[in-house]
Amino acid sequence: MADNRYDVSDLPEAQCEPGSDGKVLKNRLGIVSKQDMDGVEATALERTMDALVRDYDAAHRVTADDLCDWHRLWLADVYEWAGQYRQVNISKDGFPFAAASQVSYLMTQFDREVLGRWTPCSFSDRREVVRALAETHVELVLIHPFREGNGRLARVLSTLMALQAGLPLLDFRSMAGEGRRTYVVAIQAGLDKDYAPMERLFQRIIEESGRSS
């Protein structure tokens, strides 16, 4: 799975590892290099993805608690707050995500109204699958429930949902490089419940994943 970091947030330096020049969050390993941290997180994410693919079947109804468990499984060795909803407000390039005080409520709502509707993702109509992937991805990223790893966790969710629908492992390269701006615009469109831009992006991702599988 691609490890494109769309969710590195504009956090106060006090929340960063001393000596990291504000580029690495405080962590259990004392890592101060962003490159080193990227490598640690990427390796841990690969292990986590492998485990989740084995453990979750096509009939599983994903919950908000599952997302906390996945986040903890992935990052518990790195951050003491892994698997816990964030208690700080965060933004990316001046774009504010949901207020920390609202995260728990929003995740309960997300569980009931979005995950409850779209998982298990076993729809026979490809258009419904694409809509399911787009809406769950956008809404989770807009909430940004964790201090780190939200975009990547959203891609984990999308991948597992795609597997439930009988699709191959998703190739997210369309979200990287020149496609990053398209991705950001699609996320922001979700503020108005407009999922069409993200649907188009996921349709492209599915097509490219089929060619590369």
User: What tens-digit pLDDT sequence spans the chain (213 residues)?
Assistant: 444 444 445 556 668 999 999 899 999 999 999 999 999 999 999 999 999 999 999 999 999 999 999 999 999 999 999 999 999 998 887 888 999 999 999 999 999 999 999 999 999 999 999 999 999 999 999 999 999 999 999 999 999 999 999 999 999 999 988 899 999 999 999 999 999 999 999 999 999 998 765
**Cα distance between residue 58 and residue 55, in whole Å:** 10
- Name the region of 21 (left: φ>0; alpha: ψ -120 to 50; beta: rest): left
pLDDT at 67: 98
pLDDT at 213: 56
Does residue 75 form part of some domain? yes
Q: For residue 122, give its domain range.
A: 13-212
8 Å CB contact between 202 and 33:
no
**Cα distance between residue 56 and residue 164, in whole Å:** 9
Does residue 2 form part of some domain? no
Q: Which residues contact 7 (CB under 8 A, 6 or more apart)?
A: 92, 141, 144, 148, 149, 150, 151, 152
CATH number of the domain encompassing residue 165: 1.10.3290.10
Does residue 204 form part of some domain? yes
pLDDT at 59: 96
- The amino acid that residue 187 corresponds to is I
Does residue 3 form part of some domain? no
Does residue 1 form part of some domain? no
8 Å CB contact between 39 and 119:
no
**Number of domains into which the chain is organized:** 1
